[in-house]
């Protein structure tokens, strides 16, 4: 449109995709399901969820779906930090037999 400050509908930018938020939430749910039969050993997969949350932070709108995924993946990341601190200080031991 010549001389108009209004952007036509077909040229407007697309709304932010919620695909990243869905990926973070689905990963958090699958992470929880995997952690049940392994007695919490799925915590080693927490970096994947944290990475998905960071990607969603940059790409998706910060709505309720995003915050659910961010909270669940943040708790998983906190669990991983707790395990790593326990291993580093000697409070937690790993025995394979």
For 7-63, what is each residue's pLDDT tens digit?
Answer: 555 544 445 578 888 888 998 888 888 888 877 777 888 899 899 899 888 888 888
Which carries the bigger pLDDT value, residue 97 or residue 56? 56
pTM metric for this prediction = 0.70
The pLDDT value given to residue 5: 64
C-alpha span between 15 and 63 (Å, rounded): 13
What angle is formed at CA 81 by the lines to CA 80 and CA 84, rounded to 5 degrees? 85
The pLDDT value given to residue 12: 44
Of 19, 24, 23, 25, nearest to 60 (Cα)? 19
Contacts of 68 (CB under 8 A, 6+ apart): 25, 28
Residue 6's pLDDT band, with cuts at 50, 70 and 90, is low
């Amino acid at each position: 449109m010549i001389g108009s400050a209004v952007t036509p509908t077909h040229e407007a930018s697309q709304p932010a995709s919620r695909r990243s938020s869905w990926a973070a939430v689905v990963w958090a749910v699958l992470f929880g399901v995997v952690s049940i039969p392994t007695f919490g050993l799925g915590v080693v997969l927490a970096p994947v969820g944290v990475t998905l949350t960071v990607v969603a932070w940059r790409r998706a709108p910060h709505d309720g779906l995003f915050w659910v995924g961010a909270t669940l993946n943040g708790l998983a990341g906190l669990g991983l930090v707790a395990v790593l601190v326990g291993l580093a200080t000697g409070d937690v031991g790993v025995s394979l037999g």
